[in-house]
Amino acid sequence: MRKSARQGVAINPFYVLFCLYFFANLQSVITLGLGAPIKVDSEEFTFSGATTAISALALFSSLFACLVVYRTVLVSTKTRTDLVFGRQASLMLALLQLSFLVFNAYYGVNIAGVEDEVQGNVALRLFYSVVQPDLIFLIMCIGIRSDRWFWFNVGIYGISLLMRSWIGGFYLIAVVTAIRQYPISFSRKSLKYFGLVLAVGVGVLPLITSVKWFIRSGAGINEALDFLREIGYANYLVDSLIYVVNRFQHLGHVALLAENARSLNEAYGSGAFIPYWMDAAPQWLFLRLNDIDIVTINKFIVRYFFDSDNLAYASNPGISGWFFILQYKMVFFIVYLLGITLVPCIIILRYAGFKYFLLVSCFSLVYLFHGWIGAYANMVLYLLAFVLFRFLLVRPIILGRHRRIVHLDDKLKSGGSVIHSSADPHMRFEHLRA
């Protein structure tokens, strides 16, 4: 973050997320260092000092590696064009999201944490598993020209999340909105509004959390409200805050993997779960077409550590957790990680623009750092496909290029801050990237 030309502070979402994950995991290190247990999913664990130290070293090394990739690409690559979506593309995105919403509501599938059966909709499920409307939304919303179309698609996405109990998706909405609005400048006035929104968000957290679990259990909102009345809204507020904060750390998961490294390495060698390089949409399609069960490490550790047979649940091994599973083979894993981070980020920054580079960088923390390799790989793969598609179009109709506009951002002016753009169209965000 950096001070603007007159007043306020420009916030970089990547650094905000970096600090969020750093301090959340540091808090877990301190807790274990004091001899207290930490919560890993639904259970509490304590670990020895040696296990805590080596797990923390691996975890923070992977976190700072994301920072190194971000800074390396940023200082070495210049942007040529921006990826932009007009009205037609925005309408197509809305229709795709609506069709997915109707599909989920009609068949009652894709509810978070709930296993469902395929009943006469194999073709549609295969289609949506390949197209992935949620992922398409996260990518396209950054480049939608119209604010009206952006918020319209956000509304559809939000309703779809509530219907499927994907409450964590609202966190993703906050991330992509911050990226889209970058650079965001906070003045004293805007900080008051931000504080008010934050207070409201914390206030409704118990309601959101309870509704989430009751939807997943098959109950309704009325049962969630009865639960809140019985336990006490204020009491559940504390539990909800602890739950949310815990979602940003995975030191306990990494420590569990470190303690069981030998047995997990043997399980990996026997094919108990798919390799890291098979965790992406094209590989998943191949496995599905060949009727091969897709068990990721995220799902395997739930069964292994928590004795749960519900493969709809998954956990966070972190990319650092793979170091203990692979042991000496982690050299190849590091090469693979560079292949899906460094090279794609250079292409995306150059041919999709800084905001899309910021999107991939932020989700290297949200997805990859946490160990959701497939989710991150899919985002990179689909975004590169958009870039390729744009360049293959002779006359861009749906997707389009545009020269960088050199002007004062109206949104920043309304927030009480002015940030001067460079006269060079290719340097618009250069003074704010740091």
Rounded mean pLDDT of 155-175? Answer: 87
Contacts of 88 by beta carbon, 8 Å cutoff, 6+ apart: 397, 398
Tell me the C-alpha distance between 205 and 290, whole Å: 43
Going by C-alpha positions, the residue among 51, 56, 53 that lies closest to residue 22 is 56
Per DSSP, the three-state class of 248 is coil
Tell me the C-alpha distance between 177 and 192, whole Å: 19
Residue bearing the bigger pLDDT, 230 or 278 = 278
Tell me the C-alpha distance between 154 and 148, whole Å: 10
Q: For residue range 363-388, what is the model confidence (pLDDT) as tens digits?
A: 999 999 999 999 999 999 999 999 98
> Which tokens is 384 given?
């590169």
Long-range contacts, 234-243 (Cβ 8 Å, 24+): 236/206, 236/209, 236/210, 237/202, 237/203, 237/205, 237/206, 239/206, 239/209, 240/205, 240/206, 240/208, 240/209, 241/202, 241/205, 242/39, 243/209
Location of structure tokens 């996260």: 138
Predicted confidence band at 407 (pLDDT cuts at 50, 70, 90)?
very low
Q: Are 158 and 134 contacting, i.e. CB atoms less than 8 angstroms apart?
A: no
Q: For residue range 282-318, what is the model confidence (pLDDT) as tens digits?
A: 888 888 888 778 889 998 988 888 877 766 678 889 9
Location of structure tokens 């009865």: 226
Tell me the C-alpha distance between 372 and 164, whole Å: 20
Highest mean predicted confidence (pLDDT) among 162-166, 393-397, 399-403: 162-166
Per DSSP, the three-state class of 186 is strand
Residue 424 has pLDDT above 50, yes or no: no
Tell me the C-alpha distance between 327 and 54, whole Å: 13
Going by C-alpha positions, the residue among 358, 296, 333 that lies closest to residue 82 is 358
The region of weakest confidence among 115-119, 170-174, 273-277 is 115-119
What angle, rounded to 10 degrees, do the helices at 330-351 and 318-326 form? 150
Q: Are 255 and 25 contacting, i.e. CB atoms less than 8 angstroms apart?
A: no
Predicted confidence band at 270 (pLDDT cuts at 50, 70, 90)?
very high
> Which tokens is 254 given?
């990494």
CA distances (Å), 79 to each of 75, 182, 361, in order? 11, 16, 15
Residue 150 has pLDDT above 90, yes or no: yes
In eight-state DSSP terms, residue 397 is S
> Which tokens is 100 given?
């997915």
> Which tokens is 416 given?
């009480």
Amino acid at 356: Y
The CA-based angle 434-149-96, given to 5 degrees, is 105
Tell me the C-alpha distance between 362 and 354, whole Å: 12
SS3 of 75-105: HHCCCCCCCEECHHHHHHHHHHHHHHHHHHH
Predicted confidence band at 409 (pLDDT cuts at 50, 70, 90)?
very low
The pTM assigned to this predicted structure is: 0.83
Residue 434 has pLDDT above 50, yes or no: no
Per DSSP, the three-state class of 131 is helix
Phi (first) and psi of residue 400, to 5 degrees = -150, 155
Q: What is the model's pLDDT at position 290?
A: 81
Q: What is the model's pLDDT at position 89?
A: 92
Q: Is the peptide bond prior to 183 cis by the omega test (within 30 degrees of 0)? A: yes
Contacts of 50 by beta carbon, 8 Å cutoff, 6+ apart: none
Contacts of 123 by beta carbon, 8 Å cutoff, 6+ apart: none
